[in-house]
């Protein structure tokens, strides 16, 4: 294998040299061959047609910057306006290409660098666009030396010296080429895997239904069990069973292990087809090391925090259910279907009955007050009176709202019925002197109160009506 070619030589404008070497043509008209007064000096006859050319030749087009050149010795003392990092006068601190120091030359006054050479190079049109302008051909010598060293190391690894390369160079190159083509790596596809027998029917021809099992033409396999009762579905099920049966899973693990080893460390000695024993041995060794490391870690945790056998009581350990086959179905809200609804409980104590109560405080509401529902008591922490307390509260409400007066006062209809049923009583005569002097009996007083309430009370007609008097 030859070394890489060197860069092309830099292009230069040699129009002046070529024009000088040509002889003067006498057939060129004078208005072309004569130099105008503004084109230059008349005495310079090196190129009599230079004024007719598109570009003038310049000697400084091959000039380039002197990279890394310094101006004389470096200063021994920091100068005002110099770079604060290295101490050079030709650039500023933010333009300095030296390593940033912890304390620059401005403060330490040590290791002051010399000033760089500042050049003003005038480049032509071609020189500005020449990508190899300023290239040093001596740098290509390092490329050739490095290539020669790599060739020598490659020959030593193959066991062939430089003297034996003339005869076996072509054979060795062919061997490397065939080895690369027959590589069974994950990035190299094999031709034999894509072959099939001519007698076999193509799998995509078994079922042409678009909604049926899907066929992947790249891997020539059925990739989806879309159908359930046709021949394509049977093929898919058969292939899936064969692919997952036997040592197929272990084979995939071994192949993946060999690929990962080759990608990470570049070790090709664990090739699955070339050396399956080494790969299986190393896989088994790594698996044992991982198990030992896991067991040691578990033992360290048990020694520090204790194991489950020593911390959990035996009675509780027997009750613990680790696995269950009970089927549980959840609804849209995430709750178990058919399970009784659980009332959410607060952090406070609930359902605690004190002082013989059968209900809690706040279970009853009346007249903008909270109380007990069992006895209708508004006093918290009072003793329960039961049904008697309810009756007392009802009587108090009847007296407060006047509902008892409505019940005591007979209705107008009942009075009409009693009037019709009872015979007419004679009109009461005036009381005698003895009756007036004898006083008023209790029966007469009660009759007076009843008649006065029913007839003379101005608010009696509003009892039991939910409306305001206008």
Query: Who wins on pLDDT, 285 or 456?
Result: 285
- pLDDT of 202 above 90: no
CB 130 within 8 A of CB 68: no
30 and 87 fall within a common domain = no
Domain that holds residue 52: 1-64+124-164
Phi, psi of 451 (to 5 degrees): -70, -40
Q: Does residue 241 lie in a domain region?
A: yes
72 and 133 together in one domain = no
420 pLDDT above the threshold of 50 = yes
pLDDT above 90 covers what percent of the chain? 18
- Residue 414's pLDDT is 60
SS (H, E, C) the chain: CCCCCCCCCCCCCCHHHHHHHCCCCCCCCHHHHCCCCCCCCCCCCCCCCHHHCCCCCCHHHHCCCCCCCEECCCCCCCCCCCCCCCCCCCCCCCCCCCCCCCCCHHHHCCCCCCEECCCCCCCCHHHHCCCCCCCCHHHHHHHHHHHHHHHHHHHHHHCCCCCCHHHHHHHHHHHHHHHHHCCCCCCCCCCHHHCCCCCCCCHHHCCCCCCCCEEECCCCEEEECCCCCCHHHHHHHHHHHHHHCCCHHHHHHHHHHHHHHHHHHCCCCCCCCCCHHHHHHHHHHHHHHHHHHHHHHHHHHHHHHCCHHHHCCHHHHHHCCCCCCCCCCECCCCCECCCCCCCCCCCCCCCCCCCCCCCCCCCEEECCEEECCCCCCCCCCCCCCHHHHHHHHHHHHHHHHCHHHHHHCCCHHHHHHHHHHCCCCCCCCCCCHHHHHHCCCHHHHHHHHHHHHHHHCCCHHHCCCCCCCC
Is the predicted pLDDT of residue 67 greater than 80, yes or no? no
31 against 414, higher pLDDT: 31
Q: Are residues 249 and 389 in the same domain?
A: no
In the structure, what pLDDT confidence band is assigned to residue 294 with cuts at 50, 70 and 90? very high
CA distance 58 to 14: 9
What's the chain's average pLDDT?
Answer: 75
- Asked, for residue 310, whether it belongs to a domain, the answer is no
Residue 364, beta-bridge partner list: 371
Residue 100 — pLDDT band, cuts 50, 70, 90? very high
Whether residue 99 has pLDDT greater than 70: yes
26 belongs to a structural domain = yes
- At residue 359, does pLDDT exceed 80? yes
Using the predicted structure, report yes or no on whether residue 92 has a pLDDT greater than 90.
Answer: yes
Do residues 283 and 393 both lie within one domain? no
Same domain (yes/no): 53, 142 = yes
Q: Which residue has the higher pLDDT, 463 or 354?
A: 354
Q: Residue range 294-301: average pLDDT?
A: 94
pLDDT score for 160: 55
Query: Of the candidates 255, 271, 287, which is a domain's last residue?
Result: 287
Residues 24 and 82 in one domain: no
Residue pair 87/106 in contact (Cβ under 8 Å)? The answer is: yes
More confident call, 144 vs 234: 144
- Find out whether 369 and 377 touch, Cβ atoms under 8 Å: no
CB 209 within 8 Å of CB 228: no
Is 49 part of a structural domain of the chain? yes
Mean pLDDT of 413-422: 58
User: Does the structure show a pLDDT above 90 at 101?
Assistant: yes
Half-sphere exposure of 161 (CA within 13 A, CB side): 1
Asked, for residue 153, whether it belongs to a domain, the answer is yes
**What total number of domains does the chain contain?**
4
Which of 35, 36, 38 is closest to 46 using CA atoms?
35
Whether residue 216 is found in the same domain as residue 283: yes
Q: Do 135 and 108 share a structural domain?
A: no
126-180 confidence digits (pLDDT tens): 888 888 888 888 888 999 999 999 999 988 887 654 445 455 555 555 545 444 4
Give the up-direction half-sphere exposure of residue 346: CA atoms within 13 A in the CB hemisphere.
4
| 152 in the same domain as 8 | yes
Query: What is the C-alpha to C-alpha distance for residues 58 and 49, in angstroms, rounded to an integer?
Result: 16
> Highest-confidence range of 48-62, 189-203, 384-398, by mean pLDDT?
384-398
Q: In this structure, is residue 256 part of a structural domain?
A: yes
Cβ count within 10 A of residue 93: 13
Tell me if 226 sits within 8 A of 210, measured CB to CB: no
Name which residue leads in pLDDT, 259 or 214. Answer: 259
Of 287, 305, 335, which marks where a domain is finished? 287
CA dihedral (119, 123, 129, 134) positive or negative = negative
Residue 351 within a domain: no
Task: Please give the model's pTM, rounded to 2 decimal places.
Answer: 0.24
**Same structural domain, 208 and 259:** yes
Residue 158: inside a domain? yes
Residues 270 and 388 reside in one and the same domain: no
Q: Are residues 9 and 145 in the same domain?
A: yes
Query: Residue 209 above 80 pLDDT?
Result: no
Predicted confidence at residue 451, as pLDDT, reads: 73
135 burial level (CB within 10 Å; 0-12, 13-18, 19+): middle
Range with the lowest mean pLDDT among 255-259, 271-275, 319-323, 452-456? 452-456
Task: Return d(Cα 222, Cα 204) in angstroms, integer.
Answer: 9
């Amino acid at each position: 294998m030859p070394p890489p070619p060197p860069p092309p030589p830099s292009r230069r404008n040699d129009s002046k040299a070529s024009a000088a070497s040509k002889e003067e043509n006498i057939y060129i008209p004078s208005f072309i061959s004569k130099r105008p007064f503004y084109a230059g000096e008349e005495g310079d006859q090196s190129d009599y047609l230079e004024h007719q050319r598109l570009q003038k030749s310049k000697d400084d087009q091959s000039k380039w910057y002197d990279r890394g050149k310094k101006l004389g010795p470096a200063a021994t003392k920091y100068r005002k306006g110099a770079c604060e990092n290295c101490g050079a006068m030709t650039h500023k601190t933010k333009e300095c290409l030296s390593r940033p120091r912890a304390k620059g030359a401005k403060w330490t006054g040590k290791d002051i660098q010399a000033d760089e050479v500042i050049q003003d190079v005038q480049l032509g049109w071609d020189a500005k666009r020449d990508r190899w302008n300023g290239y040093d051909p001596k740098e290509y010598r390092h490329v050739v030396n490095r290539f020669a060293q790599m060739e020598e190391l490659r020959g030593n690894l193959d066991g062939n010296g430089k003297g034996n390369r003339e005869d076996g160079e072509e054979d060795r190159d062919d061997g490397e080429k065939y080895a690369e083509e027959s590589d069974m790596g994950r990035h190299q596809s094999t031709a034999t895997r894509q072959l099939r027998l001519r007698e076999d029917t193509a799998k995509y021809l078994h079922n042409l239904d678009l909604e049926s099992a899907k066929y992947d033409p790249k891997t020539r396999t059925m990739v989806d069990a879309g159908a359930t009762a046709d021949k394509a579905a049977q093929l898919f099920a058969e292939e899936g069973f064969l692919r997952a049966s036997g040592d197929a899973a272990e084979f995939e693990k071994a192949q993946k292990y060999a690929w990962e080893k080759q990608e990470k460390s570049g070790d090709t000695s664990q090739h699955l087809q070339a050396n399956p024993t080494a790969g299986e041995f190393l896989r088994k060794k790594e698996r044992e090391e991982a198990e030992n490391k896991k067991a040691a870690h578990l033992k360290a945790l048990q020694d520090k925090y204790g194991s489950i056998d020593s911390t959990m009581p035996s009675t509780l350990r027997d009750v613990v259910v680790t696995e269950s086959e009970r089927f549980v179905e959840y609804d849209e809200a995430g709750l178990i279907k058919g399970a009784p609804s659980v009332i959410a409980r607060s952090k406070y104590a609930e359902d605690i009955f004190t002082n013989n109560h059968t209900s809690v405080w706040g279970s009853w509401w009346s007249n903008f007050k909270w109380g007990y529902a069992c006895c209708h008591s508004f006093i918290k922490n009072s003793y329960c009176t039961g049904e008697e307390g309810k009756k007392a509260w009802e009587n108090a409400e009847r007296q407060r709202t006047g509902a008892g007066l409505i019940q005591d006062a007979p209705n107008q209809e009942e009075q009409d019925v009693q009037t019709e049923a009872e015979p007419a009583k004679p009109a009461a005569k005036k009381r005698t002197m003895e009756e007036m002097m004898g006083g008023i009996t209790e029966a007469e007083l009660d009759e007076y109160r009843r008649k006065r309430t029913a007839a003379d009370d101005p608010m009696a007609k509003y009892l039991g009506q939910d409306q305001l008097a206008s």
